[in-house]
Chains A and B, each alone.
Chain A
Amino acid sequence: EAQVTQNPRYLITVTGKKLTVTCSQNMNHEYMSWYRQDPGLGLRQIYYSMNVEVTDKGDVPEGYKVSRKEKRNFPLILESPSPNQTSLYFCASSQKGTAYGYTFGSGTRLTVV
């Protein structure tokens, strides 16, 4: 089944403890992206990647890092999480080219205490 897989689905962590949220897609998509969703603020893009080794900042990149060493994986790294990064995170991927829709993962609910 074509899908975007995120792990973990739920995570509670403490301030300052580095964590990684993994994202993997099995559709050979060139484009991948991370979003966070917060009440009243909607979905906001954190980082995106147009292809392997090519990443760029989205609208809210502060406090996050990403890497794209291989096509299928696009991990989101929080080097020193803070409570304001408590949010619902989604990874998305898309095929390069014309007007394809994005495929989203099921989400990771992160709580930083």
Chain B
Amino acid sequence: DAKTTQPPSMDCAEGRAANLPCNHSTISGNEYVYWYRQIHSQGPQYIIHGLKNNETNEMASLIITEDRKSSTLILPHATLRDTAVYYCIVRVAYSGYALNFGKGTSLLVTP
């Protein structure tokens, strides 16, 4: 699976959009971009995934650059409950192999 690079930490004011970047310059054509988050020792929570096109669901939006070498997770109106570690993972669609969570980005949403 391709390696990802994320900033170690970010801050965001409550109510504002949180934009979390991820670089994955070695991504292969059949690899998807997945985002998960973990709120303080709870089980990781799946947020969204995409292959080429931008994606949106009830939690977030995922913007993938045309060359697929980077992506941005957008939480449109961050709340205090969005404070968590966010992980960008690149991998093929269905594989037994481990999700490589890396160190992620610790997002702090402040009042």
Contacts and interface: CB of A to CB of B under 8 A. Distances in A.
Interface of A: 4, 31, 33, 35, 37, 42-45, 48, 50, 56, 58-59, 88, 90, 92, 94, 96-107, 109
B10 interface: no
Interface of B: 32, 34, 36, 41-47, 49, 51, 93-94, 96-99, 101-103
A55 to B, nearest CB: 10
B44 A43 contact: yes
Contact of B43 (A33, A42, A50, A106): A106
6 contacts: A31-B94, A59-B98, A101-B34, A102-B36, A104-B45, A107-B42
Contacts of A104: 43-45
Contacts, number: 61
Contact of B99 (A50, A102, A103, A109): A102
A96 B97 CA distance: 13
Contact of A101 (B41, B43, B46): B46
B42 A106 contact: yes
A49 to B, nearest CB: 8
A4 B47 CA distance: 16
